[in-house]
Chains A and B, each alone.
Chain A
Amino acid sequence: MDLSNVVIAVVILACIVMVLLATRYTTDQKGFDEMQLKKRGDAFRIGFFTLLACVLLMLFLNSLDSFAEKVTVDFMLIASIMITACVFGVYSIWKDAFFRMNENPKTYLGICFAVVFPNAIVLIGELKQHGTLLKDGKVTFTPCGNLLNVVTFTIIAITIIIKMIVNRREEKE
């Protein structure tokens, strides 16, 4: 059995467990007010349809021989998950539905940077060592997955920062 397939399976399983835990936790709905719950519902719906669209696009692209030769399925799968997470995160942060009431967004900023830096180091190391992120001319789960992590969490961090500035301005008004 290919070791990369085991890694992919573990990552997907971890994602499912995280979603289940998050869903279980959020069913308590503690700390969210009524508007936030409504917006979170919208965010989950948009995230669901984004994932559906990504998977359909992935199936279509994978059927094209020219594309399938250059990009592996495991990368496309993780890309779909990351795009979905990004859409959910950005939408709910922008609609003030991501953080619980009185929760400090700076904590999440710290988490974002804690994810971005190690992944960025891996990317830089890979580029220094091989001069490319491709493996045998293909876009693969590693190290291109690291690039996805960096992009996703940077977008989320930037959204948090912009939203904090907007909220501060509103509070002053």
Chain B
Amino acid sequence: MKNLKLKAARAAMDMSQEQLADACGVSRQTISAIEKGDYNPTINLCIAICKVLGKTLDELFWGD
């Protein structure tokens, strides 16, 4: 399932996948895979992404 909330939050901060990846210490492909729903990140990476984007885990990773 695609993670559109992550994509929207990243776009709202005017960040590219590359910039978010660098800030989180992962590859651009990993961020792309998370957004596409091809990869389920560990809780550590989820937290890192949330910190960079200024969101909570619920806001980005909790399904509706």
Contact = CB atoms under 8 A, between A and B. Distances in A.
A33 B18 contact: no
A12 interface: no
Contacts, number: 31
Interface string B7-43: 0000000000110000001111110110000010110
Q: Is the interface of A mostly helix, strand, loop or mixed?
A: helix
B33 A35 contact: yes
B30 A171 contact: no
Contact of A33 (B17, B27, B32): B27
Query: Chain B, interface size: which category?
Result: 10 to 19
B41 A171 contact: no
A72 interface: no
B26 A34 contact: yes
Interface residues on A, range: 10 to 19
| Interface class of chain B by DSSP | helix
Contacts of A13: none
A65 interface: no
A96 B42 contact: no
A170 B18 CA distance: 11
A171 B39 contact: no
B29 A96 contact: yes
12 contacts: A33-B27, A34-B41, A34-B42, A34-B45, A35-B27, A35-B33, A35-B41, A38-B39, A96-B29, A101-B27, A167-B29, A171-B17
Interface of A: 33-36, 38, 96, 101, 167, 170-171
